[in-house]
Structure 1
């Protein structure tokens, strides 16, 4: 379980990106993090793995207090936290396999990593995750030969090969077309269910979040203003998160998407959604 306790990030000039954020994400649950630009979504994700240092509060992964770790302890802890980036963060000139194996860098020595001589067990693990994400036929392709959706699948495979307990996902569909976006979100939800991974997905597309995740957390000005299942994200909740707007179309789009699967959905059925949590009025 991931536990955030009164997490706060304040920058040198005094601007608060996060204020007293408390959140629990159990194993196997995917949380969609929504909110306007500047609400603190990316900061929250980066505070969890301390790419951004919190000003105060605590981040715990199971019994481990991440915020109290030394530099060497943090390196080990980051093995347990897979990160998936909006812009993929791949090495373009390297092959798909080499990019995926970079997820094992925290487990091998410097020279093995430098020479890209990974243990056979790591190579076998990489083949297994590439098969799971549908890229087994692209193992030897360079990253710059892939489509956007394929690149994001490489990013997912790289995170999974770490064998993490937690996925931190920053705008995984921002650069993708609608069909590919659905396929990527479906894949993330399915692998989290299969591996019992906790996950936080920073996502701008509200309808897409409602379609796939079991819990939505809304941030506004660095504070949680909504926490509940997708079907409770009504016009009042969206107004609290984003401000006044006619939200009827957004809600209708999400409802329409849930009415039935498209052809792509039939090829890869949606993972069953666990029992919904009650909405939390904030």
Structure 2
């Protein structure tokens, strides 16, 4: 579905953020991208949709090399890649509904978007998505009236209204409290399952990555140093990714949180029955 071949990014300063990254992600897989600050995580995500231009290599979305297309084709390809930002990237003075509908700007003409004359089907889909992310009652509120978790839910709905095949998620929980972080990660993963979406989630929190990622990729200085299942993140692997530290407490905490998550899910299912 998505394939990176020898992806390189070298900045004008001479710093090499990505050093020949090779990666394949099948349809429907949720991949958590971890690593220390400066490892190249955000650069990798932004090279995929060319918010950052790769220096060399290829980015295949299905059979099309995103890195090689012109501006017009790139606009069309970006419709298929929803982006969820750490800093939310909402227009503060617009309403929740207007921010969600901005995800359709790649599909409607300039004047229709300027006057906010979106097709009825787009408006209906925006309402469905707001209901799904739990914000139907806030459709007419301005974005600057929302909490961090609510803003991130608007960002999720905006990405999904593009009807993408791939989600690129850059630090979705960086500004959120622990409870809201879990809710957001759970929501993203549920939506990916419901829609058969692949996702790359750049995340600092190792515990959240292990709890919600189906696959973990660890970056260190622009290179992949781990690619495997969440339960493969041993103390030795975490030391390779992040450096020396007592990782046993982190691993124990992950196991406790996973047990709690399982118990909560079973209780919800029991209540539904």
Q: Which category describes the TM-score, using the shorter chain as reference length?
A: over 0.9
Q: CA 1:199–1:267 in 2, change beyond 3 Å: closer, same or farther? A: farther
CA drift of 1:266 comes to: 6.7
Q: Deviations over 1:107-166 (max 9, x none)?
A: 000000111110111101111111111111111111111111110000000000000000
Number of the residue aligned with 2:30: 30
Unaligned runs of 5+ in 1: 270-282
Distance 1:261 1:80 in 2: 32
1:232 maps to 232
Trace 1:97-108 onto structure 2 (pairs within 5 A): 97-108=97-108
Stretches of 4+ aligned residues off by more than 3 angstroms = 262-269
Instruction: Report how many residues are paired.
Output: 269
Aligned to 1:148: 148
Equivalent position of 1:180 in the other structure: 180
Q: Deviations over 1:40-68 (max 9, x none)?
A: 00000000000000011100111111011
Paired position in structure 2 for 1:245: 245
Q: What is the rounded CA distance, in whole Å, between the counterparts of 1:42 and 1:8 in structure 2? A: 13
Partner of 1:157: 157
- Per the alignment, residue 58 of structure 2 pairs with 58
2:194 is aligned to 194
Go from structure 1 to structure 2 and tell me whether the alpha carbon gap of 1:86 and 1:108 turns closer, same or farther (over 3 Å shift). Answer: same
1:70 and 2:66 aligned? no
Shift of 1:14: 2.0
TM-score by length of 1: 0.93
Query: What secondary structure sits across from 1:13 in the alignment?
Result: coil
The answer on whether the counterparts of 1:183 and 1:264 sit within 8 Å (CA) in structure 2 is: no
TM-score, length-scaled by structure 2: 0.96
Change (3 A) 1:95 1:265: farther
- Listed one character per residue, the Cα deviations across residues 235-270 of structure 1 (whole Å, up to 9, x for unaligned) are 01001100111111111111111112389757877x
Which stretch of structure 1 is more off in the superposition, 198-207 or 260-269?
260-269
8 Å Cα contact 1:82-1:166 kept in structure 2: yes
